[in-house]
Amino acid sequence: MKIAITGGTGFVGRHLARELVMRGHSVVLIARGKDQRDQSVATLPRVGFCPNDLSMVQELTHCFQDCDAVAHLAGINREIGEQTYERVHVRGTMNVIEAATAANAGKIVLLSFLRARPNCGSAYHESKWQAEELVRNSGLNFTILKSGMIYGPGDHMLDHLSHAIHTLPVIATVGFAEKSIRPVPIQDLVRILCAALVEQRLNGETIAVTGAEELKLSEAVRRIAAVLQRRVLIFPMPVWFHRTMASAYERMMKVPLVAKAQVRILEEGVTEAAPPAHALPTDLRPVLRFSPDLIRAGLPEPGRFGLSDLRCYDS
């Protein structure tokens, strides 16, 4: 099969592309080309690259030619300049649908967020919901995966928490009544994506994807610190504090330690889909726990946050 991946050089896109190539499929990576963390994925056999920010339908149509399916993974968790939720999640999805229809791509698989829903006061959640609705009403064969927090090599979760622990081992949890999360290992998510794309399963369904283990963020931080062999102080802070800090992080950091959308996510907890969605078949349900081995495998090189992480830094 030949499969196109929007957001193809991002965290999930890279892992999916490698798995598809390993299974003998051809891949077209579609991305702005801004993510420079791992460019080697574009050099794999049977992998092509199309630079596109999802605003150019004609070019997207050309990228989708002869593709059997499209994995629509492109997304942002904070707005910077022209990269707004409206432009990326809503108009980008409209253009992907139009191009996939024109190219006669067989199926679209959308990666959404577990709590994406309308009229909730969060532009991130609402724009993700709009993207879901566009796909559901596109007339194309589709699968929508409403996933919780995803972790693994090259992610933001393990990357930022480990760097924060190395920089200053003091972590504030969101709110005095801490909510639970069910983190999803990238290995489990890629397995589900491949089932939808390659095996043509979950057709016409909106599916909730949560990890095998439910825990508090504070417990996740303790496990990461234990793997790093570092002591960490964890204490609660009110939600307004985190919203204030997230606004500052978004202004100052290239990739914020915590974005405003992530504060909302942690404030609510990440264990159940809203609105309710279908459950995965038993054989596709995530099985990997948030274990020391998986944490260790996903950690970046040890290091602190520095000047290079600031948006004003020009190397």
Give residue 264's domain range. 157-179+213-270+288-309
User: Would 279 be classed as within a structural domain?
Assistant: no
Integer Cα distance of 219 and 226 in angstroms? 10
User: Would 276 be classed as within a structural domain?
Assistant: no
Q: Looking at residue 313, what is its pLDDT?
A: 72
Q: Are residues 243 and 103 located together in one domain of the fold?
A: no
User: Would 138 be classed as within a structural domain?
Assistant: yes
Q: Looking at residue 285, what is its pLDDT?
A: 97
Q: Is the pLDDT of residue 100 over 70?
A: yes
User: Would 281 be classed as within a structural domain?
Assistant: no
Q: Looking at residue 314, what is its pLDDT?
A: 58
- Count of domains for the chain: 2
Reported confidence tier of residue 197, pLDDT bands at 50, 70, 90: very high
**Which DSSP string corresponds to 236-264?**
EE-HHHHHHHHHHHHHHBSS-SS-HHHHH
Note the pTM of the prediction, 2 decimals: 0.94
Q: Are residues 199 and 222 located together in one domain of the fold?
A: no
Type of residue found at 20: L
| Angle, CA 195 vertex, CA 270 and CA 289 arms, to 5° | 40
Give the long-range contacts of residues 24-27, CB within 8 A, separation 24 or more: 25/1, 25/198, 26/1, 26/2, 27/2, 27/3
User: Would 314 be classed as within a structural domain?
Assistant: no
Mean pLDDT of the chain: 94
Q: Looking at residue 37, what is its pLDDT?
A: 63
- 170, 193, 209 - which closes a domain: 209
Integer Cα distance of 213 and 235 in angstroms? 22
User: Would 278 be classed as within a structural domain?
Assistant: no
Residue 146: beta bridge partners? 112, 208
Q: What are 48-95's pLDDT values in tens digits? A: 999 999 999 999 999 999 999 999 999 998 898 889 999 999 999 999
Q: Are residues 167 and 195 located together in one domain of the fold?
A: no
Q: Are residues 21 and 118 located together in one domain of the fold?
A: yes
Q: Are residues 165 and 245 located together in one domain of the fold?
A: yes
Q: Is the pLDDT of residue 35 over 80?
A: no
Q: Are residues 44 and 193 located together in one domain of the fold?
A: yes
User: Would 315 be classed as within a structural domain?
Assistant: no
Say what the alpha-carbon torsion angle 74, 80, 86, 88 is, to the nearest 10 degrees. Answer: -20
Q: Looking at residue 36, what is its pLDDT?
A: 57
Cα torsion angle, 178, 182, 185, 190, sign: negative
Q: Are residues 67 and 192 located together in one domain of the fold?
A: yes
Task: Read off the pLDDT of each residue in 127-133 and give the average, rounded to a whole number.
Answer: 98
Per DSSP, which regions of the chain are E strands? 2-6, 26-31, 47-51, 69-72, 107-113, 141-147, 150-151, 170-174, 180-181, 184-185, 205-209, 215-216, 233-237
Integer Cα distance of 162 and 153 in angstroms? 12
Q: Looking at residue 309, what is its pLDDT?
A: 84
For 179, residues 6+ apart whose C-beta sits below 8 A from its C-beta are 216, 266, 267, 268, 269, 270, 271
Q: What are 37-50's pLDDT values in tens digits? A: 677 888 889 999 99
Task: Read off the pLDDT of each residue in 86-105 and give the average, rounded to a whole number.
Answer: 97
Q: Looking at residue 60, what is its pLDDT?
A: 96
Cα torsion angle, 285, 288, 290, 295, sign: negative
Among residues of the chain, what percentage have pLDDT more than 90? 85
Q: Are residues 52 and 112 located together in one domain of the fold?
A: yes
- Domain holding 112: CATH number? 3.40.50.720
User: Would 98 be classed as within a structural domain?
Assistant: yes
Length of the chain counted residue by residue: 315
Higher pLDDT, 292 or 80: 292
Reported confidence tier of residue 101, pLDDT bands at 50, 70, 90: very high
**Which DSSP string corresponds to 214-232?**
-EEHHHHHHHHHHHHT---
Q: Are residues 59 and 141 located together in one domain of the fold?
A: yes
